[in-house]
Structure 1
Amino acid sequence: MGDRTRAHTGAAGGATTADRPSSVRNVVLVGHSGSGKTTLVEALAQTAGAVNRAGRIEDGTTLSDYDEIEHRQQRSVQLSLVPVEWAGCRVNLLDTPGYADFVGELRAGLRAADAALFVVSAAQEADAVAGATRAVWEECAAVGMPRAIVVTHLDTARTPFDEMVRVCGEVLGGDDPDAVLPLHLPVHGPEGPDGHAPLTGLTCLLTRQVFDCSSGERRERPPDDTQRAPLRAARDRLIEGIIAESEDETLMDRYLGGAEIDVASLVEDLERAVARGTFHPVLAAAPAAEGARQGVGTVELLDLVTGGFPTPSERPVPGVTPLHGASRPVPSCDPDGPLIAEVVKTSSDPYVGRVSLVRVFSGTLRPDETVHVFGRGLTDPAHEARPFHEAEVRVGALSAPFGKQQRPLTSCAAGDLACVAKLGTAETGDTLSDPDLPLLLDPWTTPDPLLPLAIEAHSKADEDKLSQGLARLVAEDPTMRLEQNQDTHQLVLWCLGEAHQDVALDRLRNHYGVQVDAVPHEVALRETFAAPSTGRGRHVKQSGGHGQYAICEIDVEPLPAGSGVEFVDKVVGGSVPRQFISSVEKGVRAQAARGVVAGHPLVDVRVTLRDGKSHSVDSSDAAFQTAGALALREAAADTRIRFLEPVDEVRVLVPDDYVGPVMSDLSGRRGRVIGTEQSGSGRTLVRAEVPELEIDRYAVDLRSLSHGAGRFDRAYARHEAMPPQLAERLGKRRENRPDDT
């Protein structure tokens, strides 16, 4: 186990300075919404003595009292850190939202952690393990992150524990379901009037002892007669699974020969296999009953975390790139090494201001020191919402969050996490390093937000604060993208789902004091001529003094897609003076940019100026610009205008079971399915071309269609002619269109 601190069952350790990576465990809790992650974190904190029997901190608040948005939304919406002490270790519990809209917070938790606890609820349907949970499991497997599984809600179970273990083995174990096995069997009390049997204890398969919590205290006793047979069968399978992962090649022969393998050797091999990420134990847990000191299974879970999960020094540091010609260091989790840290979360405190949750990968972070901050965002670095940025910043106060409290820290060594106040303009994903050795950590990936929310300031006062509020919002949450659409002139906030949108509006309103109104999102349409036409623009005005005189005649003809707007001069005889030819072109192009029917830009036409008239005194640049615009509008009035809609290339990745419904749904959206291809085990990639008008809410609809297991991306392909029936509805706006002259 290297320098891993050995856990001592049932004994909570005292405070630790966490100045060595060997005394730190960073664990992220992952699971479906409603699986009980937050309740489990509170139960672990209670068992570790961080909160009292009523689940409260010394100031009388609970761990979940600190976030008002979560109370209003009635769900976890952000990553939260709860540090506890156990068996001489500092255990950083990273609680993540289970709802798919907040997967960005989950990815941040995975970045900050060295191991993962997957929380599944026996009160939910067994297939809740699949879908999004399986996708995250595979992400962890790809980077070799150790994982364990915790089954909750066994007192109200729809699915028995043994069935949950089987499902987890099949869905998460992949080709090796024997790598997903229980360490304990649950013990239930008598059924109550509601038909539910409370979880009162656990039977340890290795020690063959029952940890009974039915009295409110954890007591050890031997199993009774009804428990011995299932214990024996499950124990044999567990031992075989542990031995299969053992580095001792003689162990299997000894076991098959009838030798009794001592428990200490089995525990050591188990912990090695868990730390390597090749064996995934399943545990059962339940919060403490009223008045009880600790919950069922929480001691066993903390023992597994401290004894079996890896230390930060046993996990690789993410790749780094030296900046400005600096030498490339060899990253290692060394408190005395060069500083390499990362902002994994940014939040705003009404009193402190911006607070950054930082994971230190190397070196030691201290208050009042100067660090180099470099960021390139977590999406396309060329995107205007995520520009490259760097600065040298003085580190503010360090603290460890605990509910509403911020407990001061004197330093944060390699492997640990801390909150940093007033870290300049640092954003989520930024790298902190020594100013003499500036570095950049390889960024983690975040999903592209694909659900648009068009917003407007509610009042003039809100308009003045809107840009600053939105800038802070996207700096805190890299899964939001801000766009000022040049075609529709709308301000669009791209989110991951409707709940994500609700939280964004809530934060703008309550954190930044900005009231905004959501307005219908507009798609960037185009207009073009369906057939050739002619137009005459006459702008003649005389109101005393210098008048305005300009007449021009034009021909307009459609061009192939992608041609833009061409302007051709075929004036003969000087009917339009040479100096005013460019004025007509300016007027035509300005009107084309404004559109000729419904306010969408006109494209793919050739405009030919063939004749006109001028006045030696009253003609001017402005007059001929106006005449050119009028001529184009008149030409449009005498022919049919065709609307062009943007078409996206859409790639949908779904489990094989949902390929048929997804293809049918895309066809119903006027989509053209281009093809399908296998993409890994049990998944299919569906490629299609779909009009943007039909996929505005596809992020929400696909989640419903695929039970949260599907994801997609989209990219602009081209503009195509809109069906006549849709174009007719848009054309009705023509009579209400304001005069652009």
Structure 2
Amino acid sequence: MGEKTSTQPGAAGRAVTADRPHGIRNVALVGHTGSGKTTLVEALALATGAVNRAGRVEDGASVSDYDEIEHRQQRSVQLSLVPVEWAGIKVNVLDTPGYADFVGELRAGLRAADAALFVVSAAEGIEGITGATRMLWEECAAVGMPRAIVVTHLEAARADFEAMTQACRTAFGGDSPDGVLPLYLPLRGPEAPDGHRPVTGLIGLLSQRIFDYSSGTRTEAEPGPEELPLIAEARNRLIEGIIAESEDETLMDRYLGGEDIDVKTLIEDLERAVARGSFHPVLAAAPAAEGAKQGLGTVELLELITGGFPTPPERTAPAVTTLGGAPRPALACDPGGPLAAEVIKTSSDPYVGRVSMVRVFSGTLRPDETVHVSGHGLEDRGHESHDVDERIGALSSPFGKHQRQLAQAIAGDIACVAKLGRAETGDTLSAKDAPLLMEPWLMPDPLLPVAIQAHSKADEDKLSQGLARLVAEDPTMRLEQNPHTHQVVLWCLGEAHRDVALERLRTRYGVQVDVVPHKVSLRETFGAKASGRGRHVKQSGGHGQYAICEIEVEPLPGGSGIEFIDKVVGGAVPRQFIPSVEKGVRAQAARGVAAGYPLVDVRVTLLDGKAHSVDSSDAAFQTAGALALREAAAEARIHLLEPVAEVQVLVSDDYVGPVMSDLSGRRGRVLGTEQSGTGRTLVRAEVPEIEIGRYAVDLRSISHGTGRFSRTYARHEPMPPQAADRIREQADSGA
């Protein structure tokens, strides 16, 4: 881990051949936008020789080859894989998006990874550790994922590694801040004319060696007498932190007794603690200077990854069942075992077609073989369940936009698979004669509605297929065909997520759409009892139309629907036409009687009517029933009913007050609060749905990214008169 030469293998006798699971490391880079993740990936690719100084390899591929949408967004919006090799070990670096709208891609990256590297910026200080980053740290902790921290942007004038390290201990250490400690201290060069002393190297706390990057290539040297006292306190703290996590219970007593613990023993204990997820080292990194071959800290970081992070066999694979739900034995990371792989990302290539990024947990995946594709399905999000056999195409390893062909993908590895036309993100690939289904990972719930419509007739013809492909790529998106408002609604995680989705529709699938105001499912009901008379009498030669009916309408409790009661006596309305009256009433209720929203929760009683022996008909009495309901509505007070959602907001204690105040301003009723873990509060409230259309965006702003919420439909209830009047005015104006 920086205390060894860069050619040594990992600890504890791990194999270093990349064609075996022990020779693979899968690492997800986690951090907010601007923390320096992508720059770090480029530095690792340069240090390992995967790219040249210009960031390219011989075939012209570049680690920075991202799609046009990312260039326009000026942020990473999708998960990307960059495989590099170090000391005979293949390292699959998963660069995850840092923006909250793309947390689905981030969680997919964590699913495929065996360890996480949290990237924080020294230039941003404590503010660089966002609430969202803390929440992701806790998510990783909940599943026991090993984590380390790398501090970037040390080249910035106001970068402070020591302050950033302390902030990391506070943010990530919880009750055990001594489990978050630096392995190195920055070595600063001579003072520049502007007074800034740039970081030129690192001091290894365990080895007490200097690793100098000032020449562009890492060199080692002994520290001077003036430097040793500077590192003594940090070194002692690190040694105590490592020994506290050691499996050797005698080590602490020996250390406290004055014994000088061998550095090799400390490194081995450190690597075991990192692999267990009980110790989280802090490292430093900076991009390579012009003409340099290695960026500061890249060798140390690669040695941590290859020596300290766990191998795929050391991590527990997701649980699997049969397609019928029967539990199956736990998967072992064995190339000779039963095939079990999972699609962690789906994308469309204009030349190759659909490409699936797959993590292989067991068995070996080979080109041109037939596999079984199974998926839980997310019908509420527009994703169907899968249970089909498919023949896969070529296997490849991505590098930027380019794909390098692979002969196979063994257990523990990540590869891209072509021609899986039915597979979607989250689906399981297994042997066709022994199909399996993996336990799904947690998908964030999309809560920002975006109503769309085709821009032209040509777009309308392509819209359905384009939307199907879009949601196949992104399981965090939900597609809704609302039967009440007749709108096509894309439910997204935020505005950036929405913008990327619409851009992909336009550029990838050639579908131009317009965003229209999102409508909530309003209802109408009677505020008091009313009567109405429907008279439909026409004579135009031949058979005429004759139907008269009298009804009474009265309101019912919420959720009652529409009741129809026949109280006609004496045959005033012939028996065969009474169902016709009911059909007309119900048809008019579905169309609405005031603002065009469905009428609900009323009892309609047919009291009397008249018929003609020749001119009465089913159609005539349907029309009379509808007219009678409209006349009753014209004489009554009609209430607009709006849907009310039960909202649960999980937020940091610091923002409970602003959140409750904001909910009250949205006509919400706060039902109560309760503690939910350390420093978090769950706020429960009922809020009209019309008031929370943009709450996914607004809550993020109010809570500085620390808030989450869920919503479930509670009921419809009367809308305040002023709000209802505005809705009616909009309906009258045709808006």
TM-score over 0.5 for the pair: yes
1:193 Cα shift? 5.6
Q: Structure 2 counterpart of 1:529, which letter?
A: F
315 and 203 in structure 1: CA distance in 2 versus 1, 3 angstrom threshold: same
Deviations 1:402-424 (A, max 9, x none): 01210000000000000000113
**Alignment correspondent of 1:466:** 463
**Alignment correspondent of 2:5:** 9
12 and 473 in structure 1: CA distance in 2 versus 1, 3 angstrom threshold: farther
Q: RMSD over aligned Cα, in angstroms?
A: 2.0
Q: Structure 2 counterpart of 1:246, which letter?
A: S
**Alignment correspondent of 1:37:** 37
1:435 Cα shift? 1.5
Q: Which moved more, 1:419-428 or 1:726-735?
A: 726-735
Aligned ranges 1:123-162 → 2 under 5 Å: 123-156=123-156, 158=158, 160-162=160-162
Q: Distance in 2 between matches of 1:198 and 1:106?
A: 33
**Alignment correspondent of 1:677:** 674
1:292 Cα shift? 0.5
Matched, 1:518 2:515: yes
62 and 191 in structure 1: CA distance in 2 versus 1, 3 angstrom threshold: farther
**Alignment correspondent of 2:704:** 707
SS of equivalent residue, structure 2 residue 227? helix
Matched, 1:435 2:432: yes
1:70 Cα shift? 0.7
- 1:572 aligned to which of 562, 566, 569: 569
Aligned ranges 1:188-587 → 2 under 5 Å: 188-192=188-192, 196-323=196-323, 328-377=328-377, 381=378, 383=380, 385-587=382-584
Q: Distance in 2 between matches of 1:661 and 1:139?
A: 25
TM-score (normalised: structure 1) = 0.96
SS of equivalent residue, structure 2 residue 64? helix
Deviations 1:362-416 (A, max 9, x none): 0000011111111013xxx553723322101112100000012100000000000
1:139 Cα shift? 1.0
**Alignment correspondent of 1:173:** 173
1:571 Cα shift? 1.5
Q: Structure 2 counterpart of 1:393, which letter?
A: E
Deviations 1:287-329 (A, max 9, x none): 1011111100001000100000000000011111023598834
Q: Are the counterparts in 2 of residues 530 and 641 from structure 1 also a CA contact under 8 Å?
A: yes
**Alignment correspondent of 2:628:** 631
368 and 326 in structure 1: CA distance in 2 versus 1, 3 angstrom threshold: farther
285 and 384 in structure 1: CA distance in 2 versus 1, 3 angstrom threshold: closer
Deviations 1:428-471 (A, max 9, x none): 11111112211111110111100000000111111111111111
1:486 Cα shift? 1.0
SS of equivalent residue, structure 1 residue 449? coil
Q: Distance in 2 between matches of 1:314 and 1:87?
A: 19
16 and 538 in structure 1: CA distance in 2 versus 1, 3 angstrom threshold: farther
1:736 Cα shift? 4.9
- 1:666 aligned to which of 660, 663, 668: 663
Q: Which moved more, 1:409-418 or 1:569-578?
A: 569-578
Deviations 1:197-230 (A, max 9, x none): 4321111111111111122222222224553222
Q: Distance in 2 between matches of 1:343 and 1:56?
A: 28
Q: Are the counterparts in 2 of residues 7 and 307 from structure 1 also a CA contact under 8 Å?
A: no
124 and 328 in structure 1: CA distance in 2 versus 1, 3 angstrom threshold: same
TM-score (normalised: structure 2) = 0.96
Q: Which portions of structure 1, spanning 4 or more consecutive aligned residues, are displaced by more than 6 angstroms?
A: none
In structure 2, the gaps of 5 or more residues are: 10-14
In structure 1, the gaps of 5 or more residues are: none
Q: Structure 2 counterpart of 1:164, which letter?
A: M
Deviations 1:323-375 (A, max 9, x none): 35988344100000111111111000000000000000000000111111110
Q: Are the counterparts in 1 of residues 646 and 686 from structure 2 also a CA contact under 8 Å?
A: yes
Q: Distance in 2 between matches of 1:291 and 1:575?
A: 99
1:158 Cα shift? 4.2
Q: Which moved more, 1:194-203 or 1:112-121?
A: 194-203
Q: Are the counterparts in 2 of residues 366 and 410 from structure 1 also a CA contact under 8 Å?
A: yes
Q: Are the counterparts in 2 of residues 126 and 159 from structure 1 also a CA contact under 8 Å?
A: no
Q: Which moved more, 1:509-518 or 1:182-191?
A: 182-191
Q: Are the counterparts in 1 of residues 153 and 159 from structure 2 also a CA contact under 8 Å?
A: no
Deviations 1:85-105 (A, max 9, x none): 001100000000000000000
Deviations 1:246-292 (A, max 9, x none): 12222222222222222111111110110010000000001101111
Q: Distance in 1 between matches of 2:225 and 2:611?
A: 110
Q: Distance in 2 between matches of 1:195 and 1:549?
A: 97
Q: Distance in 2 between matches of 1:731 and 1:695?
A: 20
Q: Structure 2 counterpart of 1:155, which letter?
A: E
Q: Structure 1 counterpart of 2:267, which letter?
A: V
Count of equivalent residues: 730
Q: Distance in 2 between matches of 1:60 and 1:7?
A: 35
Q: Are the counterparts in 2 of residues 344 and 358 from structure 1 also a CA contact under 8 Å?
A: yes
Q: Distance in 1 between matches of 2:238 and 2:513?
A: 57
**Alignment correspondent of 2:187:** 187
Q: Are the counterparts in 2 of residues 598 and 737 from structure 1 also a CA contact under 8 Å?
A: no
**Alignment correspondent of 2:53:** 53
Q: Are the counterparts in 2 of residues 488 and 523 from structure 1 also a CA contact under 8 Å?
A: yes
Q: Are the counterparts in 1 of residues 114 and 146 from structure 2 also a CA contact under 8 Å?
A: yes
Q: Distance in 2 between matches of 1:258 and 1:16?
A: 36
**Percent identical across equivalent pairs?**
75
**Alignment correspondent of 1:73:** 73
Q: Which moved more, 1:321-330 or 1:244-253?
A: 321-330
Q: Which moved more, 1:382-391 or 1:459-468?
A: 382-391
1:598 Cα shift? 1.1
434 and 255 in structure 1: CA distance in 2 versus 1, 3 angstrom threshold: same
**Alignment correspondent of 2:593:** 596
Q: Are the counterparts in 2 of residues 145 and 277 from structure 1 also a CA contact under 8 Å?
A: yes
Q: Distance in 2 between matches of 1:517 and 1:226?
A: 67
Deviations 1:452-509 (A, max 9, x none): 0000011111111111111111111110000111111111000000000000001100
546 and 157 in structure 1: CA distance in 2 versus 1, 3 angstrom threshold: farther
Q: Are the counterparts in 1 of residues 29 and 116 from structure 2 also a CA contact under 8 Å?
A: yes
1:68 Cα shift? 1.7
Q: Are the counterparts in 2 of residues 155 and 196 from structure 1 also a CA contact under 8 Å?
A: no
- 1:614 aligned to which of 607, 611, 623: 611
Q: Structure 1 counterpart of 2:233, which letter?
A: A
Q: Distance in 2 between matches of 1:328 and 1:252?
A: 43
Q: Which moved more, 1:487-496 or 1:188-197?
A: 188-197
Q: Are the counterparts in 1 of residues 96 and 105 from structure 2 also a CA contact under 8 Å?
A: yes
Q: Are the counterparts in 2 of residues 54 and 291 from structure 1 also a CA contact under 8 Å?
A: no
Q: Distance in 1 between matches of 2:668 and 2:157?
A: 42
Q: Distance in 2 between matches of 1:531 and 1:103?
A: 49
Q: Structure 1 counterpart of 2:467, which letter?
A: L
Q: Structure 2 counterpart of 1:689, which letter?
A: E
Q: Distance in 1 between matches of 2:459 and 2:3?
A: 55
Q: Structure 1 counterpart of 2:645, which letter?
A: D
Q: Distance in 1 between matches of 2:725 and 2:373?
A: 54
Q: Are the counterparts in 2 of residues 326 and 437 from structure 1 also a CA contact under 8 Å?
A: no
Q: Are the counterparts in 1 of residues 536 and 546 from structure 2 also a CA contact under 8 Å?
A: yes
SS of equivalent residue, structure 1 residue 44? helix
- 2:717 aligned to which of 693, 712, 720: 720
